[in-house]
Amino acid sequence: MTLALRSPAFAPGAEIPAVYTCEGSDRSPALEWSGVPAGTRSLALVVDDPDAPDPRAPKTTWVHWVLYEIPPSVTGLPEGVTDLPPGTREGRNDWHRTGYGGPCPPIGRHRYFFKLYALDRTLGDLGTPAKAKLEKAMEGHVLARAELMGTYEKRR
């Protein structure tokens, strides 16, 4: 079985509903996963936008959400999650805070990648790491990776 990530809120490659963005209530969409490989000790989730600030001339990848130490027995997160699964830790997004920050592209249609990693170890307390620190800690420990991409463009 292959690690798979999906959302009941939007299909792969489809538009993310506005309720999950800065133009809506900015709450996280529900996520579901399956196929966690044997030997997984923890999961990590990163949500980012490689099209910032302008998809025609991207300059940076904007990080929207960083979670780690998700127990491997967990099979998803509910919409608008505020009570994370026990043991789950949060990293820092590019707004310099923890938690989910929804799509809010300044111009054009952006792609948002939800990336789930199955790790062969727990990472311990990394504080509130930015994505780069989490990725460094995960190096050499990723058993499997799943990805879900959605798009969004402001209504203006």
DSSP 53: S
In this structure, what are the phi and psi dihedrals at residue 21, rounded to the nearest 5 degrees?
-125, 180
pTM of the model: 0.97
**Domain boundaries along the sequence of the chain:** 4-58+91-152
C-alpha span between 85 and 147 (Å, rounded) = 20
Using only the alpha carbons of the chain, give its radius of gyration. 15
Q: Return the pLDDT at 151.
A: 98
Q: Return the pLDDT at 9.
A: 98
Q: Return the pLDDT at 1.
A: 73
What is the CATH T-level fold of the domain 4-58+91-152, as seen in this structure? Phosphatidylethanolamine-binding Protein (3.90.280)
Averages of pLDDT over runs of 10 residues in the chain (156 residues) are: 95 98 97 98 98 96 98 98 97 97 97 98 97 98 98 90
Q: Return the pLDDT at 155.
A: 87
Q: Return the pLDDT at 24.
A: 96
Structure tokens at 58: 């991207």
C-alpha span between 116 and 54 (Å, rounded) = 25
